[in-house]
Structure 1
Amino acid sequence: MSRKERIILFILACLNFTHILDFMIMMPLGNYLMPYFKISTHFFSWIVAAYPVTACISGLIAAFYVDRFDRKKVLLFAYCGFIIGTVCCGIAPGPGLLMAARVLTGVFGGLIGAQVLSIIADIFPYEKRGQAMGTIFMAFSVASIVGVPFSLYLASLISWHAPFIFIGILGACIVPFIIRFLPSMKVHLAPVTAGEAPYKPDVSKVLGDIVDNKAQLTALFLSGLLMLGHFMIIPFINPYMEFNKGFTKTQTPLIYMIGGGCTLVSSFIIGKLSDKYGKFRIFTICMLCSLAPIFFITNMPGIPFVAVLAIFAVWFVFSSGRNIPAQAMITTVVNPAQRGQFMSFISSFQQLFTGLASIIAGLIVVEGANGKIQRYNWVGYLSVAIVASTFFIAQRLAKHQKLR
């Protein structure tokens, strides 16, 4: 990679860090927010779902327009709005206003993921894309190692409001670097002739093109089901670890720190292995290796905390690892001119299924009279079944694109 490519990747990874951290921190704050606001597990799941569901809607609307604009400008607009929404979360005085702030954040956040993936796909050829995706996904690891533990420390030291203010300040510091170093992304734009009529999105044509394209439909469902299976168990990890297993608020951040530390190394390795041995093959290995940890996490016996950390580390590595080759496969189903539009659909599907995962988990899980989380194992069984089913969908995508 050239120096310029490394700088762009670093900036996008930093942006992705704040974007991911904003979403990630809501879930481990469950054992702060539920007793603080005296809300049920069901209402908490809706607060978590408010962001991804709204992001899905805004992403779908934007999908009909984003390929008519410079990707850099779209990314800057969305990221600035996202920062404002995050700060609003930090000053929310009640659960209703917090949910409203999450909706505002989701409106802009729904545009970010698709733009990052589209920029990566525009800059890097398919032969290098696995490594580039691996670098971007390392933001998840850094968010887990540094972001989540530090944010939980701020929540414990000050209040639950503090993590959102921290993310907002950090995001504001990244904006000048985006302006300075990220080039304009206009290669995908069709030439505009003089006197051309203003662009009017043809919704029926866009949707018809996707429905008629089996590879694109397969990619949409693969991305959605990966999110659904993954995020079903996440919202109640911290409440389950604290209220059911007796681990303290000072111990649970170590889950994210150790797991993220492992993925920081594994993301780069998995990205290179995907380029060398094939995306579908590496996806299959990671998917299969991620199933057992899901079962153990949601059916956890009384074991030492060090064993808990080991189980979560394995889960972090392979659950994040399967997304790297999957995303590389997904970016190939559309040509550059429509890539931003299609990746907006992908991002929206991911957000929708992430929100559905939280809602479904909230409907299944209940809080017992003693404050313990009940029926969490049911969520685990469903998650295993959904994740396992993605093998067949990924296999079809690999067959369509001849990516084996």
Structure 2
Amino acid sequence: MVISPLGDILMKTLNMTTANFGFAVSAYAFSAGISGLMAAGFADKFDRKKLLIFFYTGFIIGTVFCALSTSYMTLLAARIVTGLFGGVIGSVSLAIVTDLFVIHQRGRVMGFIQMAFATSQILGIPVGLYFANNWGWHSAFIMIAVLGALILIAIITQMEPITKHLEVQSDKSPFLHLWHTLSNKRYQVGFASIAFLSVGGFMLQPFGSAFLVNNIHISQLELPMVFFFTGLSVLFIMPLVGKLSDKVSKFKLFAAGSILSIIMILIYTNLTPIPLWEIVVINMILFMGIMSRMIPATTLNTAIPGLEDRGAYMSISSSLQQIAGGIAAVCAGFIIHQKTKTSPLENYDILGYVIAVITLLTVFLIWRVNQLVKSKDHDIKE
């Protein structure tokens, strides 16, 4: 996430084209996707706490390598290393949440998890941009590595072992377990929905800061304010959306968030220079729509797998999400064009139309997931 706000600085400092930057973003995603698939076979064979500690440690080391990068190629390599470990963290975290909370409580829990995203917007990104503006972009990665080390210590000392899933394990080899999970037709619907859900974000966000600076004429000093107020709005709305998703139809909430997202994406990608306060308001509403989709969609997706397949399912789902996002970032890099380092981004409006169509497709896919979850609940009650 840190590389997207640094997009304009990195493209200028490391002489990247929009296509190069798209590859820098997607390098992490592709690497994370591959590692997630590799981990899926044995994700349910170990204590989830130990698995989280191992991959989180690797993620911190990879982030340090990013901070030490001096060129586009070394940054690309460092992003690949970081992705190899970071790609499994999200799926393990979701598996832990799913193990500990029943479906009717998960919406609220997911809301609080998404608050971490908002907190990073409020504090992490503005502080990271401040560091980058004053001490170079490397300092933003150093900050993340230091904070990551503190979180790792908290995980080691405060988290209890998560081993309940080990009680329902079969004797299948990791490869057969992976194949069994991949070939399950019910699971495939969930995989497709989550993969497409990530495409829009990976297309829009990587070039967001470059668009604001070069097209909307927001200065590098004003950029942290945009992310700060966006995160602040998300911080307040996420717990409410989480509670709401536990009380109303998760699909209807997702559909409403999708409609809002489409409207705001089309407005955002067609913007011309406007005052700072207007872009802040538009950005706040846009992210409210995006986050209102993520909570119900993720909650529904966690209800699909059985306990014995949960770790593998989450790993595969996260992997396909990352791979789809990587492809999306590369495609966005080729759709968008910038003639010089300071010229406006071209074809950003076309990107908005593409994202709108993909968002409509995800509504249908999440509807299918919703039907599967209803069917599963009905079978359990009988």
TM range (shorter): over 0.9
Residue 281 (structure 1) aligns with: 252
| TM score, norm. by length of structure 1 | 0.90
Between the aligned partners of 2:272 and 2:216, the Cα distance in structure 1 is: 9
**The residue matched to 1:38 in structure 2 has which SS?**
coil
| 2:368 corresponds to 1:396 | yes
Distance in 2, matches of 1:138 and 1:218, equals: 27
Most deviating of 79-88 and 230-239 = 230-239
54, 65, 69: which is aligned to 1:77? 54
Task: Tell me how far 1:311 sits from its aligned partner.
Answer: 0.7
Q: Kindly tell me the number of residue pairs found equivalent between the two proteins.
A: 375
Q: 1:212 to 1:122 in 2, by over 3 A?
A: closer
Cross-structure match for 1:66: 43
CA distance in 2, matches of 1:165, 1:225: 32
CA deviation string 1:134-180 (max 9, x = no partner): 11111110111111010000000100000100000111111121112
Determine if the alignment matches structure 1 residue 259 to structure 2 residue 236.
Answer: no
Aligned partner of 1:112 in structure 2 is 89
Distance 2:180 2:354 in 1: 32
Tell me the equivalent position of 1:41: 18
CA distance in 2, matches of 1:344, 1:366: 34
Counterpart selection for 2:316 from 312, 333, 345: 345
Aligned position for 2:380: none
Counterparts in 2 of 1:28 and 1:190: CA distance versus 1, 3 Å = same
Aligned equivalent of 1:13 = none
Partner of 1:15: none
Distance in 1, matches of 2:276 and 2:19, equals 28
2:195 is equivalent to residue 218 of structure 1: no
Q: Which runs of 5+ in 2 are unaligned?
A: 378-382
Q: Is there any run of 5+ residues in structure 1 with no aligned partner, and where?
A: 1-23
Q: What SS does structure 2 have at the residue aligned with 1:97?
A: helix
Matched, 1:365 2:336: yes
Cα distance change, pair 157–311 in 1 and its aligned pair in 2 (3 A): same
Q: 1:192 to 1:250 in 2, by over 3 A?
A: closer
Quote the Cα distance in structure 2 between the aligned partners of 1:159 and 1:206: 43
- Whether contact under 8 Å (1:42, 1:363) holds in the other structure is yes
**Mapped contact 1:243–1:372 kept (Cα < 8 A):** yes
Alignment of 1:21-32 (within 5 A): 24-32=1-9
1:303 matched to 2:284: no
- Aligned pairs for 1:167-206 (under 5 A) are 167-190=144-167, 200-203=173-176, 206=178
Looking at structure 2, the residues matched to 39 and 290 of structure 1 have their Cα atoms a distance apart, in angstroms, of 30
1:165 to 132, 139, 142: 142
1:191, distance to aligned residue in structure 2 (A) = 6.7
Question: In the TM superposition, what is the alpha-carbon distance from 1:209 to its structure 2 partner?
Answer: 4.4
- SS of structure 1 residue aligned to 2:166: coil
Question: CA separation in 1, counterparts of 2:58 and 2:362?
Answer: 34
Q: Deviations over 1:202-234 (max 9, x none)?
A: 34x6335433423x1111111111110122111
Structure 1 equivalent of residue 348 of structure 2: 376
Residues 43-66 of structure 1 deviation map (CA, whole Å, 9 limit, x = unaligned): 111011110110000000000011
Give, as a single letter, the amino acid of the residue that structure 2 aligns with 1:383: I
Displacement, 1:247?
1.3
Cα offset for 1:38? 1.3
CA distance in 1, matches of 2:103, 2:216: 45
Distance 1:85 1:219 in 2: 30
Is the contact between residue 230 and residue 387 of structure 1 (CA under 8 Å) also seen in structure 2? no
Q: 1:192 to 1:381 in 2, by over 3 A?
A: closer
**Cα deviations by residue, 1:83-122 (Å, 9 ceiling, x for unpaired):** 0000110011111111111011000001100000000000
Aligned mate of 1:386, from 353, 358, 363 = 358
Go from structure 1 to structure 2 and tell me whether the alpha carbon gap of 1:206 and 1:107 turns closer, same or farther (over 3 Å shift).
closer
How far, CA to CA, are the matches of 1:209 and 1:323 in structure 2? 23
Distance 1:209 1:172 in 2: 33
**In structure 2, what is the Cα distance between the partners aligned to 1:73 and 1:46?**
32
Give the % identical residues. 35
Extract structure 1 runs of 4+ deviating beyond 4 A.
none
Letter in 1 for 2:348: Y
Distance of aligned partners of 1:170 and 1:402 in 2 relative to their CA distance in 1, 3 Å threshold: same
Tell me by how many angstroms 1:41 deviates.
0.9
